[in-house]
Amino acid sequence: GENVEQHPSTLSVQEGDSAVIKCTYSDSASNYFPWYKQELGKRPQLIIDIRSNVGEKKDQRIAVTLNKTAKHFSLHITETQPEDSAVYFCAASRDNYGQNFVFGPGTRLSVLP
Amino acid sequence: DTGVSQDPRHKITKRGQNVTFRCDPISEHNRLYWYRQTLGQGPEFLTYFQNEAQLEKSRLLSDRFSAERPKGSFSTLEIQRTEQGDSAMYLCASSLGDSENEKLFFGSGTQLSVL
């Protein structure tokens, strides 16, 4: 089955700096890669996603890049703000009949003012 | 609020008791998922439904766990003879079920504590 690894497990950056979180996956059939943000005590919320036919996607300060050959994808947050502090999860999904999402273990991002 | 809703938000029970959680997905969503999340970990897949059919179950789902989605709308997750290791956040999520729209939307979860 699919296995998703995520690095780093914790990340601290100064406000205004950029943050990068990296994930690798094992199943070459995976074709959908979302990122979720989870604040303490709240539900995971989808912040950006990318399909395997696209190499990069951007939404304001957030971007995701995908390297299918290497089976890794990354989340980039620019101009970080204190409200970006949260746990970020990547996930990988394959588009088959028996479909499920496999999540990475998460990265705790702290943006220091 | 037209998002995914879960009930109850918190459940405290004694070991050996049975508990049941409910999830109401976004109304037009065909797929419904159950996940379990422990502190400091990502959500772990338990099972998912396409309409009323339970299509996939994780090996994590022991025979003490059962899930239903009788009319393809709300779902229930029952845990029988609870154990302390069952303590976790149980998250429900739903999606449209269209391969071009696999965005998964989560509920706020049910936090289970087994004493």
> A56-97 pLDDT, tens per residue?
999 999 999 999 999 999 999 999 999 999 999 999 988 654
CA distance B55 to chain A (A): 6
Instruction: Quote the CA–CA distance of B101 and A49 in Å, as a whole number.
Output: 11
Nearest by Cα to B107 from B4, B1, B2 = B4
CA distance A9 to chain B (A): 9
Contact status of A42 with chain B (Cβ, < 8 Å): yes
Instruction: Quote the CA–CA distance of A83 and A39 in Å, as a whole number.
Output: 9
Q: Given an 8 Å threshold on Cβ–Cβ distance, is A46 in contact with B99?
A: no
Nearest by Cα to A72 from A9, A22, A20 = A22
Element (H, E) at B46: strand B44-50
pLDDT of residue A2: 84
Residues on chain A touching B55 (C-beta within 8 angstroms): 97-99
Task: Collapse the DSSP code of A112 into the 3-class scheme (helix H, G, I; strand E, B; otherwise coil) and give the result.
Answer: strand
Query: What single letter denotes the amino acid at residue B50?
Result: Q
Residues of chain B with pLDDT under 50: none
Query: What single letter denotes the amino acid at residue A87?
Result: V
pLDDT 10s digits, A14-45: 999 999 999 999 999 898 999 999 998 889 99
pLDDT of residue A97: 46
Residue B24, number of CB atoms within 10 A of its CB: 17
% of chain A surpassing 70 pLDDT: 95
Residue from the list B45, B91, B106 with its beta carbon closest to the beta carbon of A100: B45
pLDDT of residue B109: 95
pLDDT 10s digits, B92-110: 999 887 766 678 899 999 9
Q: Tell me the residue ranges of DSSP E strands in B62-102.
A: 65-68, 75-79, 88-95
Q: Given an 8 Å threshold on Cβ–Cβ distance, is B42 in contact with A103?
A: yes
Are A19 and A37 in contact by the 8 Å Cβ rule? The answer is: no
Residue A19, number of CB atoms within 10 A of its CB: 18
